Copies of this chain bind each other. A is one copy, B any other.
Amino acid sequence: MSTLSYLEAARLALAQEMRRDPLVWALGEDLGRGGIFGQYKGLIEEFGPERILDTPISEAAIMGTAVGAALVGTRPVVEMRFADFALCAVDELVNQAAKARYMFGGQGRVPLVVRQPSGMWRSSAAQHSQSLEAWYAHIPGLVVVAPATPADNFGLLKAAIRCEDPVVYMEHKDLWGLTGEVDERADPLPLGVARRVREGSDVTIVTWSGMLRRVEAAAELLDGGPSAEVIDLRTLYPWDRDLVFASVRRTGRLLVVHEAVQTGGFGAEVAASVAEALFDLLRAPVRRLGAPRIPVPYAPPLEEVCKIGGAEIAEAVRAMVG
């Protein structure tokens, strides 16, 4: 066990996987100098410039060539720098990577990982702050992962790299510095398995990525009041229906909290699924808390409007348990 930051945990996971399998490699802008956030620091020294590939500003090519390289059996780790720039490579991810195996009748596989640093961070405004996990969860062929802790960023990145399917891997930029205990010799975590972060009896709060901290804060705030069970989904597709349903069966209430825009966010899928399946057991309406449907503004007081804080979450819980 050592104390690692979320960023370091991912770097270690990548390094370990690269040592383990010579066909794992990473590509993206500035990787040779550690990447824009330092997630790749030191790796070129160990693995050389062919496996830590500095690329031009060609997002479509970064993604599209990774598809070709994956089809011939290598395992590319694609760095998109900001999730927002992945929007320059959507054909390559959605029309090619996600569908190739299926269209070709199972002849080829596309075992790539697309790292998409997501979310609000340091007043980055509308083109550097998006959380678009709901998009990828909607696309057949893709696995979608969003780790919330250093240990998870270690275990889930390893799992994503070993996965035979294309994985959209969304790290939250505001978590890079978050530290925690990581077992450096741990096995990959299973994909599709959520984590019950906190037990509770009155309401199930489902969340992921950067919002986990806020939800935990809310649960603390509620101390003495309603008791919240907190589930970190970790993988958004496939999401852990079993764990969520079992929890809601006990609590009778569901609140989904995410940073993304609420309208059409992945919370809608979770809420609708629970409302469909557990109607008779629900003691209150399902509820979602997500960002308003506005682009993320720059000025801090405006950006606040997009953020959901612990108090707001606690308030929502109180209203539900009532």
Contacts and interface: CB of A to CB of B under 8 A. Distances in A.
Interface of A: 84-85, 87-88, 90-91, 94-95, 98-99, 102-103, 125-127, 132, 134-135, 137-141, 237, 260-261, 263-269, 271-273, 275-277, 279-280, 282, 284-288, 292-295, 297-298
Contacts of A267: 272
B141 A295 contact: yes
Nearest to A138: B264
Contacts of A287: 276
- Tell me the number of copies of this protein: 2
A226 to B, nearest CB: 18
Contacts of A294: 102, 140
A140 B272 contact: no
Contacts of A282: 279
Give the interface centre of A90, A261, A282 by most chain B CB atoms within 10 Å.
A90
Given A102-B294, A134-B134, 9 more contacts: A88-B91, A98-B295, A140-B261, A263-B269, A271-B275, A271-B276, A275-B286, A276-B285, A279-B285
Contact of A138 (B88, B135, B297): B135
A197 B287 CA distance: 30
A138 B127 contact: no
Contacts of A127: 95, 99, 103
Given A135-B135, A272-B272, A286-B275, A295 B140 contact: yes
Interface centre among A138, A292, A295 (most CB of B within 10 A): A138
B264 A288 contact: no
Given A103-B125, A137-B263, A272 B297 contact: no
Nearest to A273: B268
Instruction: Return the 9 tightest CB-CB contacts between A and B, nearest first.
Output: A138-B264, A279-B285, A275-B275, A268-B268, A271-B272, A90-B90, A268-B272, A87-B91, A87-B90
A273 B84 CA distance: 27
